[in-house]
Each structure stands twice: as structure tokens, then as C-alpha cells.
Structure 1
């Protein structure tokens, strides 16, 4: 039986380190679906568009998961990434040291198409499930994010991935 690795993709937090609703929805999915024997990989370093706090987003995510009864010893190294492509590239380095694993990539509903495109290329040799957690955003905010995703996907389709 393959060991499951839950990968929670980074998302915004405030300059003071407060996790956004998007972050909390992803992390709560992880809390609710974690089972003994799973491993957890948190992604997210810093970036003007999602984290300008002094702490890496992955560290903030781990702290939240620990506060919600996820055991310390199940965490893999952080993937200190600045974007979705780096999530996959840096996760691949960490995962390459493990054998007989399957991946569950946890992101948001509006982001899951692009995540599939990127992770299926960069981590093509892994068995993966993709979870698009409902984001519960205002319609106008959601539409802006969806438009951003559509543009990003179009660019990948047109130009390929650079990593």
C-alpha cells in the first residue's frame, strides 16, 4: 500500500502572518482528511502577491496544523516556493527521497485546473489526486481569480512551462 502525502499549496496570508480564508479552507481540508500514516508537505515561502510576513507561508501553515492536532513527526521539509510552478519543482526535490507514495494535492477550486497542468508535467511519475477546496469567496473576487487562472493556463498552453 502506498503512503499518502498531503501537499497543501501555499496561499495568501497577511503581513502579520494571519492566514487568509483561502489558506484556512485548504488547511482545514487537510485537518479533516488527515489519517494516521499520512505525511504532510506544506508549500509557500514569500512573495509580494501572497506573503510579506517575516515567516514562510509553509511555517504558518504547519503551525496551524500542529494547533489542530496534526503530529509534528508527519511533516516533510518545506517547499519554500514563490509560485505554483515552484511548488511542484521544490516538492519534487523533497518527494524524490521517498518511495512508494501517492500524492494528494490540496488547492482551491479556482486554481485546480492550472495545478493539474503543472503537476502532471513536473511530477509525471507520481500517482496524484487533486483537491479543489471550495473557496467561499465573494463572486467578484472569485471571478477575478478565475480570470487570472484562465490567463495563466493560456500562457502555459502557448509557451510551455519554464522550470
Structure 2
């Protein structure tokens, strides 16, 4: 039987490690669908665009979920990634040690199209489902992120992925 891994993709946190609304909505969804026996893989290391804090973003995510009632045994190792392509690359390396697995990738609705494009190439040999959750952002903030995503998707389609 395949084990089931819930993957929460990283998002910004403050220089002090406080998680953003985007991060919390993804993590809260992960917690809501988590069932005993599943594993959680948190992503995110450091990067000027999302985390300049002392610890890797994924550690703050893991701590948040443990504070919400999960235990250390509910987690795989974290992926110390710096962007979405790096998420998939680092996740693939972690999964190579876990045998047959089914993946649920949790991100924000505005991000899910690009995640599918990237993960369907890099993690093509895995059974995956993608969950896009509401980000909790104001319309103006969301519009800027949606524009960024469309530009990133266009770049990938034009130039391909580099990893």
C-alpha cells in the first residue's frame, strides 16, 4: 500500500519567523485534511523573497503544525528549497527514500497552475493531486501575485524548466 504524503509549499514569513497569511492558510488546510498514518513534508529554506529569518521557513511551518496538535512523527524531513522549481527537485530527493507514495500538494489557488506545470514534469512518476486554497489576501495583493504567476508560467512555457 502506498503511503500518503501531504506537501505544504512554502510562502513568506517575517524576518522574525512569523508566518504570513498565505503560509497559515496552506498549513491550516493541511491540518484539516491530515489523517493519522499520513506524513507531512514542509518546504522552504531561505531566500530574499520569502525568508530572511534565522531558521528555514519549513521549520516555522512544522512548529506551527505541531502547535496545532501534530507530532514530530507526522513529518518527513523538510525540503530546504528556495523557489517552486527547487521545491520539486528537493521533494524528489526526499521521496526517493520513501518507496511508493501518493502526494497531495497544497498551495494557494493563485499558485496552483504553475505548481502543476513544474511538478508534473519533475515528479512525473508520482501519483499527485493538487489543492489550491484561498490565500486570505486582499484583492489588490492577490492581483499582483496573479500577475506574477502568469508571467512566470509564460516564461516556463517559452523557455522550459531549468533544474
Q: Return the TM-score normalized by structure 1.
A: 0.98
Is 1:112 paired with 2:112?
yes
Equivalent-residue separation in structure 2 for 1:129 and 1:68 (angstroms): 24
Once the two structures are superposed, the pairs formed by residues 17-32 of structure 1 within 5 Å of their partners are: 17-32=17-32
SS at match of 1:116: helix
Once the two structures are superposed, the pairs formed by residues 12-161 of structure 1 within 5 Å of their partners are: 12-161=12-161
Equivalent-residue separation in structure 1 for 2:69 and 2:138 (angstroms): 30
Q: Please, which runs of 5 or more residues in structure 2 have no aligned partner? A: none
Q: Return the TM-score normalized by structure 2.
A: 0.98
- List structure 1 runs of 4+ shifted beyond 4 angstroms: none
- Report how many aligned residue pairs link the two structures: 163
**TM superposition shift of 1:44:** 0.1
Question: What corresponds to 1:11 in structure 2?
Answer: 11
Equivalent-residue separation in structure 2 for 1:132 and 1:75 (angstroms): 21
Equivalent-residue separation in structure 1 for 2:80 and 2:101 (angstroms): 21
Deviation readout 1:93-133 (Å, 9 max, x if unpaired): 00011122100000001000000000000000000000101
Deviation readout 1:51-71 (Å, 9 max, x if unpaired): 010010000000001111112
Equivalent-residue separation in structure 2 for 1:61 and 1:27 (angstroms): 7
**TM superposition shift of 1:81:** 0.4
